[in-house]
Structure 1
Amino acid sequence: MSAAPRALVAESGLYVHTTAYSVVLGGIIVLVPLYIISLGYNPGWLGVIIAGQGLFQVALRMFGGVISDRIGERWVIQASFAALVVGTLGLAFSSSLFALLAAQVLFGGSRAIYWTSSQSYGSRIDESRPTTLMGRFFGFAAVGGLAGNAGGGFVAVILGYQEGFFIAAAISAGAMVVVAVMPQLPRRAAMTLREILGPVPGVFRNRATLLPAVMALGTSLHVSVLSSVGAAVYKEFGFDDDAFGVLMAIHAGGAIVAGFLFARLLRRVGQRPTYAVTMALHGLPLIGIVLWGGSYPAAVALMFVLGLSFNAGRVLNVSITAMVSSPEQRGVFMAVVGIYWASGQMLGPLLFGPLAAVTSLTFSFIVAGALMTVAALLTPLLYAASRERV
């Protein structure tokens, strides 16, 4: 296969499997917290259970990047879908605490290795336009997330949780077929573990990684708090499962808009203002949900804005990371920044779930929103620290 058709197949396959992955992930984000609440667990336990996937993400982020650079991204992507199949089938057949925790561990492992490997693969399809490719990549991911969020809520109401988990397993298995026919992209052949891991200490010390790392942490905290404690907040406001699913779909709708228009916005506005506004929009709408989220129209508007900031944050952290890394070491650089994302996935539910249990759900949202608003105000300092490379 010549270079141009191979690139077309690679890009098309990337968009197909990330859409499928995001459909499953979007469904899980809605189904799992609602399922846990339906089993009678309080917000503290909800946070602890959801945090299980974050813990495994921290442990496996580097592993996913190393293996991607060592054997190629496709094998790692296949493994991530296999973990989704096993985890969703486990939830379909058991409602025990062990099954809940085991599934979260598998989901966390899948997310840890999927995003690192797929971002590395996508950024190497055409080195001349990583921002455009990643914008489209996350745009298709948002389309899948929208379908999964809305579908998860409606499936929970119409069919039930077990059927929802079976559907997620089937979609994951189908995506494995798509990944199998995608081409392996050229890479340097003689990559040893020492060669791959050699730059890791330097990446952690590199001041240029500060910007994508902080953005990754803030974006991850925003969505992890929203998809764990947020389910309980909207339950407290009186919204049903399908209404919460629609709100998460609105969030994904905002992400779609950001994904497909982000590159154009970045060229017009500039990176620094976009960075500051994105971080502010991670935090301020969370506070807005506390103030006005009991009104469904207001909740819809706030969730749309959060969706915009979510995908803008993802594209920013990936594109900046691509700017400061070589193609051969892209997986490890993505993995290092991904550790900050994984930390947000763990810390969001682990900290703000128990905080909600001992104070209130709304107070935990205010604290989370305030932290990210402060980070937005610190943007000039972050750029000053990173000015040599970005």
Structure 2
Amino acid sequence: MSTTGLNSIEKKAAFSLASVFGLRMLGLFMILPVFAIYGQELTGYSPIWLGLAIGAYGLTQALLQIPMGILSDKFGRKPVILAGLVVFLIGSIVAAMSETIYGVVFGRALQGMGAIASAILALAADLSREEQRPKVMATIGMFIGLSFTVAMVLGPIVAEAFGLSGLFWVIAILTVFAMLLIQFMVPHSVNKAPRGDNVALPEQLSGLIRHPQLSRLNWGVFILHMALTACFVTLPKQFVESGLALDSHWQLYLPTLLGSFFLMVPFMIIGIKKEKETQMFTAAVALLTVALVLLWLLPSSFVALVILMVMFFTAFNYLEATMPSILSRIAPAGVKGSVMGIFSSSQFLGAFAGGLVGGAIAANFGEKAIFLVMAVLSLAWLIVTLGMQPLKKSKSFSFATNIADEEQADVIAQKLSTMPGVIEATLVQSEAVAYLKVDEKLVDLAEIKALLSSS
């Protein structure tokens, strides 16, 4: 079997799971560009309830992300994913049938309870070899980014055609498609990847939360998604006030997002080719801060909004794309599942906080003040990024072992740590697995496999 490319099962798993993830995120994101306008028609509307409706899914996602991953380890990936999609479907239907803002908030919270991200990533790990796992995960990440772009364009079109209720019904239909994909397209898992690779382990969480470098990224993704959600409490209204009708908002989002993807390429080239990733990361946070300050300062003219949206999304897309990669390289060997669980929970908590805080600011200080508060938080993040350590080029792998006892595990771990290209080696005898962080240019994976197979 070739180790240089994805095999047929890995290709099928990558694209089917990425499609499921993308459809679900599309359903969560489609409300962002329209709810600030259509939410005003609901009984009980207020800026605070508007913010809660936009961000409510984040709280339940954050609370259930890690437990759902652990449940998938116990009861199987597919049953937990299907159960989560059923809950998401019910939440979409509740929101579609609601005529009050309170019903929509409840529906959005239910959507968030279908927290299947960790279970999907765990299933992707189960269905891929350690050498090919990064490619599978990258495919899923690409579809998440694509779903956000499609949601920004599609949301206003669907809402204009079918109204807010129709938007939630479309989301419900997309969820049914995702369930069919899981049932009939996603391969059945035969082997399980090591738990440390994909599932958050409760006993590891407290120590990793305090990790100085990881905590910078966790707070960063919290602030990033807080700013995104808070800004969309007011941005659609700003566009309407600048003279752009809601059904034409997609004409702004499409070139803005495509332009931002194009403009973030220099950040990535300089970061990777020149090995200045931490500097480019800091520059992106600075760009985000400047965009938020200018959104607060400048009048809401159409031209100004377009330019500032390009700045905002260039920074957002770059940071969103690079943080998981940086996280996996900073994470100690063997705890990737726990690290990603904390990161994902921070991300969704940020979305919830953004909706809540954005609504509260709009109600008490005016909608423009949202940009000022988010700019201050982004500036605080910028200061924190200055303490980021330079990144080493590394990849994480896991290998099955036949180690008999802890003493032998220590001996093998010591041998592994002295091999060229091995940055870190952790052997877990109880799981019969070796976790390695390596420099791919220097390491000889065949030599590592030979040592582990002889043990």
The normalised TM-score by structure 1 is 0.83
User: Does 1:78 find its partner at 2:82?
Assistant: yes
Equivalent residue for 2:229, pick from 219, 224, 240? 224
Over 3 Å counting, the alpha-carbon distance change for 1:161 and 1:188 in structure 2 is closer
Shift of 1:294: 2.3
Shift of 1:90: 1.6
Aligned residues: 385
Whichever structure has more strand as a proportion of its residues is 2
**Equivalent position of 2:364 in the other structure:** 358
Equivalent residue for 1:277, pick from 279, 283, 286? 283
Over 3 Å counting, the alpha-carbon distance change for 1:167 and 1:293 in structure 2 is farther
Is the contact made by 1:33 and 1:228 (CA closer than 8 Å) also made in structure 2?
yes
Report the residue type matching 2:302 in the other structure: Y
Is the contact made by 1:135 and 1:260 (CA closer than 8 Å) also made in structure 2?
no
Q: How does 1:76-225 map to 2 (within 5 A)?
A: 76-110=80-114, 113-122=115-124, 125=128, 127-128=130-131, 134-180=137-183, 181-183=185-187, 184=189, 186-187=191-192, 196-225=201-230
RMSD (Å), alpha carbons:
3.6
**Equivalent position of 2:385 in the other structure:** 379
Shift of 1:213: 0.7
Report sequence identity in percent: 20
Ranges in structure 1 where 5+ consecutive residues have no aligned partner: none
**Equivalent position of 1:345 in the other structure:** 351
The normalised TM-score by structure 2 is 0.73
Shift of 1:356: 1.8
Point out the more displaced range, 90-99 or 148-157.
Answer: 90-99
Over 3 Å counting, the alpha-carbon distance change for 1:175 and 1:326 in structure 2 is farther
SS across alignment from 2:233? helix
Report the residue type matching 2:18 in the other structure: Y
Point out the more displaced range, 171-180 or 206-215.
Answer: 206-215
Distance 1:121 1:358 in 2: 45
User: Does 1:6 find its partner at 2:9?
Assistant: yes
Is the contact made by 1:64 and 1:335 (CA closer than 8 Å) also made in structure 2?
no
* Higher RCO (CA < 8 A, seq sep 6+): 1
SS across alignment from 2:300? coil
Is the contact made by 1:258 and 1:309 (CA closer than 8 Å) also made in structure 2?
no
Report the residue type matching 2:104 in the other structure: L
Shift of 1:251: 5.5
Whichever structure has more helix as a proportion of its residues is 1
Distance 2:282 2:346 in 1: 18
**Equivalent position of 1:294 in the other structure:** 300
**Equivalent position of 2:444 in the other structure:** none
Instruction: Please list the CA deviations of residues 79-104 of structure 1 after superposition, one character each: whole Å capped at 9, or x if unmatched.
Output: 44333322222222221244212112
**Equivalent position of 2:247 in the other structure:** 242
Instruction: Please list the CA deviations of residues 90-136 of structure 1 after superposition, one character each: whole Å capped at 9, or x if unmatched.
Output: 222221244212112023223xx233344455567464577665554
Over 3 Å counting, the alpha-carbon distance change for 1:292 and 1:246 in structure 2 is farther
Is the contact made by 2:200 and 2:341 (CA closer than 8 Å) also made in structure 1?
no
Instruction: Please list the CA deviations of residues 138-167 of structure 1 after superposition, one character each: whole Å capped at 9, or x if unmatched.
Output: 332232222222221122223322222222
**Higher Rg:** 2
Over 3 Å counting, the alpha-carbon distance change for 1:340 and 1:189 in structure 2 is closer
